[in-house]
């Protein structure tokens, strides 16, 4: 999972709390949305490709399904997700 510190989670609409977001819940979109970053690495896994994305000093991982376009390292991408995919963590978790 991607673990988001409070200041990053706030950018994802979570408020001032730690949150997590599964890599398969992140969808890559065209840059220009609320959250965008730069692709740092890709790794083919057979059933999909793991994509590393830097969003201003925080590294996130997205998982794209097989057959989906895969951006090249250095390319800018946008990120989208379903609101219910963002899980807020309770203090002490």
> For the whole prediction, is pTM greater than 0.85?
yes
CATH code where residue 27 lies: 2.40.50.140
Q: Does some domain include residue 93?
A: no
Q: Does some domain include residue 41?
A: yes
Which tens digits make up the pLDDT trace of 16-35?
789 999 999 999 999 987 78
Q: By three-state DSSP, how is residue 65 classified?
A: strand
Provide the pLDDT for residue 10.
Answer: 84
**Among candidate residues 45, 51, 54, the one with its CA nearest the CA of residue 8:** 54
Q: Does some domain include residue 73?
A: yes
Which tens digits make up the pLDDT trace of 52-82?
999 999 999 999 999 999 999 999 999 998 9
Phi, psi of 11 (to 5 degrees): -65, -25
Q: Does some domain include residue 47?
A: yes
Number of folded domains that form the chain: 1
Domain of residue 11, residue span: 2-88
Q: Does some domain include residue 70?
A: yes
């Amino acid at each position: 999972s991607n673990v988001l510190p409070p200041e990053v989670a706030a950018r994802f609409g979570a408020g001032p709390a730690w949150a997590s977001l599964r890599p398969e819940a992140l969808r890559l979109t065209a840059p220009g949305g609320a959250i965008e970053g730069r692709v740092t690495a890709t790794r083919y896994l057979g059933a999909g490709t793991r994509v590393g994305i830097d969003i201003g000093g925080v590294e996130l991982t997205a998982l794209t399904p097989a057959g989906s376009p895969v951006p090249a390292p250095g390319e800018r991408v946008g990120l989208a997700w379903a609101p219910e995919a963002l899980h807020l963590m309770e203090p002490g978790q």
